[in-house]
Amino acid sequence: MLSIDLTGKRALVAGVADDGGFGFAVAKAFAEAGASVCVATWPPALNIFLNLLERGKMDESRRLSDGSLLTFERIYPLDAVYDAIDDAPADVRESKRYKDVGDFSIGGMAQRLVDDFGEQPLDIVFHSLANGPEVKKPLLETSRAGYLAASSASAYSLVSMVQRLGPLMRPGGNVCSLTYMAGERVVPGYGGGMSSAKAALESDTRVLAFEAGRKHGLRVNTISAGPYASRAASAIGIISKMVAYCTANSPLPQDLEAAEVGATAAFLASGLASGITGSTVYVDKGYHAMGMAVTMPSGTEIVGS
């Protein structure tokens, strides 16, 4: 019988700050498959996340199929717009939410992993990072700074992570990220350069699959997930409309569940997917296959000029 078995493997999921998004669902799926799991959390959200864990506020969502609770080997602070701690401006390093967490850069996280687990500590890296400070602005109104910030946090961060974590990964390692249909097609309201960042992420996935495959023996893929009303996605401003529209117009007219993305990530990380790399894998109830709307649910109209 075929099964997803990640026993003995260590996964790092970057971009987990609560139990309501894809990153948490991916971490839980890795644990269900037998992997040990570390997570990386944005410093301003770190204390809130730790408090939720310590107070048992996420115990129900952490419960695994065998009745045990999902636990994290390590929780690292990570601001993935900085490759090294010296890249962060002094006002960031000295701010209240950053000054006591240590080296929160990608390079700092890589060094902590080595310090904690040895020279090749990882088998799986999952990139669940995205941020666009001007995501509510149309592209025509997006500033250069906003556009570049979206690309830095949402796309280049994957490149930087593969640069620094690739050499730390064991043979047969897997890297995966999260993308969205807006990288291929127009989604009005998904602005601020985020659609460009997702397009870059998908292109980088293909190039990294070649380069990291030849250099480190890694597989690199990305999951194109349908819209999901996580806390982070609320920043888009129209997420409920996006969910309703896609549900009504998908071949499978059902809301996407985060666990479905988690299961796909676990499959891609396993030996069952040993021949899959450089791919965009759609987990969106088939919405990507549609070329014409079936229905326009009430309240989902988006007016653009």
As assigned by CATH, the class of the 10-285 domain is alpha beta
pLDDT at site 236: 72
* Residue 156 annotated in active site: no
Go through the chain and tell me how many residues it has: 305
Q: Residue 282's beta-bridge partner residues?
A: 224
Among residues 238, 232, 213, 209, the alpha carbon closest in space to that of 222 is found at: 209
* Kind of pairing between the strands at 75-77 and 122-127: unpaired
117-171: per-residue pLDDT in tens? 999 999 999 999 999 999 999 999 999 999 999 999 999 999 999 999 999 999 9
pLDDT at 237 over 80: no
Q: What residue has token string 């806390």?
A: 231
Looking at residue 296, its pLDDT comes to 76
Per-residue pLDDT, 65: 96
Assess whether pLDDT exceeds 60 at residue 13.
yes
How far out from the chain centre does Cα 259 lie?
14
Over residues 291-295, the mean pLDDT reads 85
Please choose, from the candidates 245, 255, 254, 250, the residue with its C-alpha nearest in 3D space to the C-alpha of residue 297.
245
Q: Using 50, 70 and 90 to split pLDDT, how confident is the model at 239?
A: confident
Instruction: List, in sequence order, every residue forming a beta bridge with 127; answer none if it has no partner.
Output: 14, 177
Report the pLDDT averaged over residues 244-250. 92
In the predicted structure, residue 234 carries a pLDDT above the cut 50: yes
**Active-site residue, 228 included:** no
Contact 264, 283 (CB under 8 A): yes
Q: What is the pLDDT of residues 176-186, one digit of tens each?
A: 999 999 999 99
pLDDT of residue 305: 41
Q: Are the C-beta atoms of residues 251 and 212 closer than 8 Å to each other?
A: no
3-state helix, strand, coil in the chain (%, to 5): 45, 15, 40
122-127 vs 169-179, strand pairing mode: parallel
Question: Taking the CB of residue 239, how many other CB atoms lie within 10 A of it?
Answer: 18
Q: At what angle do helices 157-165 and 106-117 cross, to 10 degrees?
A: 30
| Alpha-helical segments (H) within the chain | 22-32, 43-54, 59-62, 90-93, 106-117, 144-151, 157-165, 194-216, 239-249, 258-269
Sequence-distant (≥ 6) Cβ neighbours of residue 114 within 8 angstroms: 121, 168
Q: Which of 190, 228, 245, 287 is catalytic?
A: 190
CA 202 to chain centre: 13
Asked if the model's pLDDT at residue 301 lies above 70, the reply is no
- Which one is catalytic: 82, 98, 156, 180? 180
Domain ranges of the chain: 10-285
Average pLDDT over residues 202-206: 98
End-to-end CA separation in angstroms for the chain: 55
